[in-house]
Structure 1
């Protein structure tokens, strides 16, 4: 019965080469059992028919999706920031400058203009009104693209609750629109520091965990969007995942100093099938990428291979009370097995393996 196996096969031929080399008979395919040797190997295994998957292990980093850098809209002194690692949701402040909060609201359109009475209609107005309603302001507010008097009153209510100047107008010094709740990963502007308009003050990410791999550009063929992978996390935890993003532009780093080699990589992001136990950010992980898949092939344990004096490999086929060496061509590797083709080999054929 066919079954799939997933594992790495690199360097396994070296193990086979450790066997004593044997000669192949004149026809290039078989040889009788060595005179004086055991008639039948002490241990045997069967040739099986199944799918083999060879994998390549690469280094990655466990992190969070959607990193972005936030800048101060106005100048002043930082009087408070959310702690690194804190999750900030709608209606909560990320930081305070001159003791006035910068509040998170949800939306994909940045606050690129001041929103006030008399401003032209637009989706940014609707985005603001949707947040005001979600935060419990504006019972008479109609959520649309028009900044109405009801919108103005709802803004005043919100500003009063947040301790902001009650102007009825909202700008980027008071609110920041983000797609969803964010996690603070770095507070560049510590409390007491003076910041200028446009200066970066916080780095945030989404709350969804992912694995990022800087994949060597030469191995780009290993990363296919939608492909399944296996990730080994700190502590030995293993989690399945799927490649969700593969960069289209290669990035080159290093090579600036004399003798330093440059490295060209492609960004690969992996979404995990379940939330990992570890809460560490930037934790090193190992990712198994599928290198090659071979379906419905004959396979033997790698240790069944014997090195031939003429070059290449063979297997010791057991027939009754005797054996013969059959030269084989090897293919894919996976889970300690190797694909083989050779004269007379079939599913169920017994081959010799080293006694454990």
Structure 2
């Protein structure tokens, strides 16, 4: 009887184990492994340009030191920051005003004899006319005029397109102008130091002289009214740059502004310590002047464009794979590993060229 009980217990135990096994197999199956997702990118046809950045400084354009030409005692200077325009007083010598005229030819002599001909006379006539004075008609190019004084008659001179003629009407206009600006006596004779000729209006900077100094020395700093960015770069980079080329400027508040290269200096400057090689000066105009209206003497970042390749095939740099035998390849999505020739790198993209690679081809890349 005892043996039967033991045997039955063993059978039940086996049956229970079998039932458990059957129950376990009838449960839900494990999900199949998911395929690994890979990122892809499209081969695009585009223009690629590489860039480099330099530190630049915001300041007023055309900064230079103004030097007096008329001997005497300096009796007045304008305050820094003031703008002097055509006809305005730049400074005073012996309390006589020295006015600003616009032009490209300096005054190189006294002008006071009717019949004088020259480029300086043309500057005088143009400025008085612009200031609203009636100067009368000017002789046409090809006209022959003769300088006449109270004691002699000069040599006849043929007027050219670059010349002005000091006529009696122009002399009368000089007298009226002198009287209006406080020159006493108003003689109608323009002395060489009565005006300074500059390209346009100037902004006054720091004084370089004091009242009472001799007026023929350095008087003050002046500049153009417009601000610009000045960048000093390695001379070896100068061949990549030219006037009219666009740049991007990052301002101190991290905002970006467009810029245009105004000039690239042809004068190579030696580095101050002689360690970094020769330098050239690049002046950049800011396209929207208001962007730097409130920026003064600040450092900015200027991004220049170097080499440009147009209509090339390009992919993200992350799509490149180093090949065991050297060089690079790309993995075509759903296809083979293809060797490619690599060109320009720019803005996270790289120029490629390879068999079967065309615009629209999708390649595997890093996510």
- Report the TM range for the smaller structure's normalisation: 0.7 to 0.9
- 1:234-288 Cα offsets, whole Å, 9 max, x none, are 3334333333433334222324xxxx51530223333443324213354433322
Distance in 2 (alpha carbons) for counterparts of 1:75 and 1:247: 34
Q: How far off is 1:104 after superposition?
A: 1.0
Higher strand residue share:
1
> What is the match of residue 309 of structure 2?
294
Whether 2:232 is the aligned partner of 1:214: answer yes
The equivalences for 1:245-260 within 5 A come to 245-255=263-273
When normalised by structure 2's length, the TM-score is: 0.73
Distance in 1 (alpha carbons) for counterparts of 2:282 and 2:237: 11
Distance in 2 (alpha carbons) for counterparts of 1:129 and 1:281: 37
> What is the match of residue 168 of structure 2?
149
State the number of aligned residues: 309
Contact 2:73 2:215 in 1 (8 A): no
Unaligned runs of 5+ in 2: 1-32, 140-163
Distance in 2 (alpha carbons) for counterparts of 1:130 and 1:342: 66
Whether 2:76 is the aligned partner of 1:80: answer yes
Contact 1:126 1:143 in 2 (8 A): no
> What is the match of residue 277 of structure 1?
291
> What is the match of residue 316 of structure 1?
331
After superposition, the CA RMSD in angstroms is: 2.9
Whether 2:105 is the aligned partner of 1:109: answer yes
Report SS of the residue matched to 1:263. Answer: coil
Contact 2:129 2:135 in 1 (8 A): no
Contact 2:114 2:171 in 1 (8 A): no
Distance in 2 (alpha carbons) for counterparts of 1:168 and 1:267: 44
Q: How far off is 1:160 after superposition?
A: 2.1
Contact 2:257 2:291 in 1 (8 A): no
Q: How far off is 1:318 after superposition?
A: 2.0
When normalised by structure 1's length, the TM-score is: 0.75
> What is the match of residue 92 of structure 1?
88
- 1:26-51 Cα offsets, whole Å, 9 max, x none, are xxxxxxxxxxx995543222222222
Report SS of the residue matched to 1:154. Answer: helix
Report SS of the residue matched to 1:277. Answer: helix
Distance in 2 (alpha carbons) for counterparts of 1:237 and 1:162: 46
Report SS of the residue matched to 1:156. Answer: helix
Distance in 2 (alpha carbons) for counterparts of 1:241 and 1:46: 32
Unaligned runs of 5+ in 1: 1-36
> What is the match of residue 58 of structure 1?
54
The correspondence for 1:337, drawn from 326, 331, 349, is: 349
> What is the match of residue 183 of structure 2?
164
Whether 2:136 is the aligned partner of 1:136: answer no
> What is the match of residue 30 of structure 1?
none
Residue 293 to residue 55, structure 1, CA distance change in 2 (3 Å): same
Residue 234 to residue 311, structure 1, CA distance change in 2 (3 Å): same
Residue 265 to residue 91, structure 1, CA distance change in 2 (3 Å): same
Whether 2:170 is the aligned partner of 1:174: answer no
The correspondence for 1:47, drawn from 43, 59, 80, is: 43
